[in-house]
Amino acid sequence: MARFVFITGGVVSSLGKGLASAALGALLQARGYTVRLRKLDPYLNVDPGTMSPFEHGEVFVTDDGAETDLDLGHYERFTGVAARKTDSVSSGRIYSTVLEKERRGDYLGKTIQVIPHVTNEIKDFIRIGEDEVDFMLCEIGGTVGDIEGLPFFEAIRQFSQDKPRGQCIFMHLTLLPFIKASGELKTKPTQHSVKELRSIGIAPDILVCRSEGPIPRKEREKLALFCNVRPESVIAAQDLASIYEAPLAYHREGLDQAVLDAFHISPAPKPDLTVWEDVADRIHNPEGTVKVGIVGKYTQLEDAYKSIVEALTHGGMANRVKVQAEWIDAEVFEREDPANHLDGLHAILVPGGFGERGTEGMIRAAQFARERQVPYMGICLGMQLAVIEAARHLADLDDAGSEEFDHEAGKKRFTPVVYHLKEWVQGNHRVERQQGDDLGGTMRLGAYNAALTKDSRAARVYGGLAIEERHRHRYEVDLRYRDALEKQGVVFSGMSPDGRLPEIVEVKDHPWFIGVQFHPELKSKPFAPHPLFADFVRAAKENSRLV
């Protein structure tokens, strides 16, 4: 039966609870334990699927088709454990489930209340799969004191009491601000945060304190005394040059040992950190730098493309180079010559997105990459726009467009090279969607298989002819225009197993030009870079010698 670690946060948000959770998971794995990580979010959205990237950042997608918080991406990247639908839940989903049960009469006419009905639903969620792993790490979103988080805090308090003594511990992440004027590291915000946590019945076993520098012994002892934890359980979380230093940094601070001590596990297995030492070496000792332009719609917020940035970093590690991302707003190209911004870049990447804004700029970026022989990767929308660009400029379809944004723009006449997908096969059943359906959960989501063309670049990159990748989209490239495009060297090198849906296109006689309908960035890890990103950065590295 699993031991449970509940990770909470205080003082301010965005301190790195997700990173701390992921690093702890990696350290427990290094000691030979199995782990699973979960995120419990207090917001009322059912999931982040319909939230703006500016509002929430990236939406991470699991193999089984869940749209989740971007922290699950950290969990996967650090542990290699594929996330599932049961690893992410929000207040919205909890309340939806409770209300569905009430409408069905499951509660036998009782008055429905936060306690016990909502808290019981949260506890039932936490219990899922508890017999599968040694440790279950559960991160609670938000900060202690937030009114919307109270049901979750109450649920984990109850849960710890339901379990045998010693099976649950609490780890609290706080901020130690440094006041430059007085030259002091202040512990009072952490003290108040712990006081707030204790007032709702939760006493932290471990304090993880985010700070700009080391925590002096005097401050550690003060925190231990006033927050009622052992001095060795006060862990410093200092600012790092790379998130991939976190497992080694937390190990040096003794986080994994503190967790094992809290569970009274002795003697503790020794960790094997060879993988993370190699990762750190590749991060800190690159043999060059390549510049990759990311031409997108949400470039003002890097978290909107979090997995892409990390996958590029992994590709750089595979090639012993540092990848320098150049963020470019696609709308700029609708007013200016792309060459003003793209000249000198070693590769160009156009990521996914929704809606019309910026799409003409992305099309011009794809045209620049194709004509100038610059390595290009198009992901989801980036693939569709590359196909539209080729249809316009190579296949004489001057009015080529997409049902997605050309309908939005009110165009009466256009050739729908990209169309709204209304039905597809998932597993052994057919899925049907209409254009007017609710947006949430109506996309082609999760892992799907694809068959690659023999001797294609994609097949060489993957080293095989059968792949499985994660999707998140509503629109598809129309195969009616395949022959016209392939005559011009735009090859459909990856297809769904039934041959109906394009998965990969590539341009012949080009150093590296691949568009994919799926999201390969979601499966990349620092110790196992995705082959597409590894080869894309390799091509950028070769191009850097020519530019």
SS (H, E, C) 274-295: HHHHHHHHHHHCCCCEEEEEEE
Residue 33 has pLDDT above 90, yes or no: yes
The rounded distance, in Å, linking the Cα atoms of 366 and 400 is 15
How is residue 525 annotated by DSSP? Answer: B
**511 alpha carbon, distance to own chain's centre:** 29
From start to end of 27-117, where are the E strands?
A: 35-41, 60-61, 67-68, 88-90
What confidence tier does 54 reach under pLDDT thresholds 50, 70, 90?
A: low
Strand partners, 63: none
Q: Which residues of 334-366 are buried (b: 16+ CB within 10 A; e: fewer)?
A: beeebeebbeebbbbbbbbbbebebbbbbbbbb
* Of 453 and 412, the one with more pLDDT: 453
Residue 544's identity, in one-letter code, is S
Query: Mapping DSSP to helix (H, G, I), strand (E, B) and coil, where does residue 99 land?
Result: helix
Q: Which of 179, 231, 239 is nearest to 213 (CA)?
A: 239
* Of 404 and 262, the one with more pLDDT: 262
Q: Distances in Å between the alpha carbon of 463 and those of 406, 453, 460, 536?
A: 38, 12, 5, 15
Q: Which of 346, 399, 389 is nearest to 366 (CA)?
A: 389
In the sheet where 415-420 sits, what is the strand order? 400-402, 415-420, 475-477
The rounded distance, in Å, linking the Cα atoms of 12 and 25 is 23
The rounded distance, in Å, linking the Cα atoms of 509 and 180 is 58
- Mean pLDDT computed over 168-176: 96
Backbone CA torsion sign across 111, 114, 118, 123: negative
- Mean pLDDT computed over 266-287: 94
CATH class of 286-544: alpha beta
* Of 160 and 440, the one with more pLDDT: 160
- Mean pLDDT computed over 368-394: 95
Percent of the chain predicted with pLDDT > 90: 76
Strand partners, 515: 378, 505
Residue 424 has pLDDT above 50, yes or no: no
Residue 85's identity, in one-letter code, is K
Query: Mapping DSSP to helix (H, G, I), strand (E, B) and coil, where does residue 394 land?
Result: coil
Cβ within 8 Å of residue 183, ≥6 positions away: none
Residue 427 has pLDDT above 60, yes or no: no
What confidence tier does 433 reach under pLDDT thresholds 50, 70, 90?
A: low
The rounded distance, in Å, linking the Cα atoms of 188 and 190 is 5
Instruction: Please state, rounded to an integer, the average pLDDT across all residues of the chain.
Output: 91
Do 3-279 and 286-544 show the same overall fold? yes
Residue 187's identity, in one-letter code, is T
200, two tokens:
């709702």
- Which pLDDT score is estimated for 515? 97
Residues annotated as catalytic (active site), given as ranges: 380, 519, 521
72, two tokens:
């699950």
- Which pLDDT score is estimated for 14? 83
- Which pLDDT score is estimated for 412? 56
- Which pLDDT score is estimated for 547? 58
Backbone CA torsion sign across 496, 499, 500, 503: positive
Contact 48, 86 (CB under 8 A): no
Contact 43, 293 (CB under 8 A): no
Residue 382 has pLDDT above 60, yes or no: yes
pLDDT digits (tens, 9 = 90+) for 316-329: 999 999 999 999 99
Residue 432 has pLDDT above 80, yes or no: no
Range 3-279 has CATH code 3.60.150.10:
no
45, two tokens:
């959205």
Contact 303, 57 (CB under 8 A): yes
User: Phi, psi (5° rounding) for residue 292?
Assistant: -115, 125
Residue 52's identity, in one-letter code, is S
How is residue 474 annotated by DSSP? Answer: S
Q: Which of 544, 540, 530 is nearest to 347 (CA)?
A: 540
In this predicted structure, which of 49-53, 99-103, 139-143, 489-493 has the lowest mean pLDDT?
49-53
The rounded distance, in Å, linking the Cα atoms of 442 and 49 is 10
In this predicted structure, which of 72-81, 183-192, 455-464 has the lowest mean pLDDT?
183-192
Q: What residue spans define the domains of the chain?
A: 3-279, 286-544
Contact 362, 369 (CB under 8 A): no
**Whole-structure pTM over 0.75, yes or no?**
yes
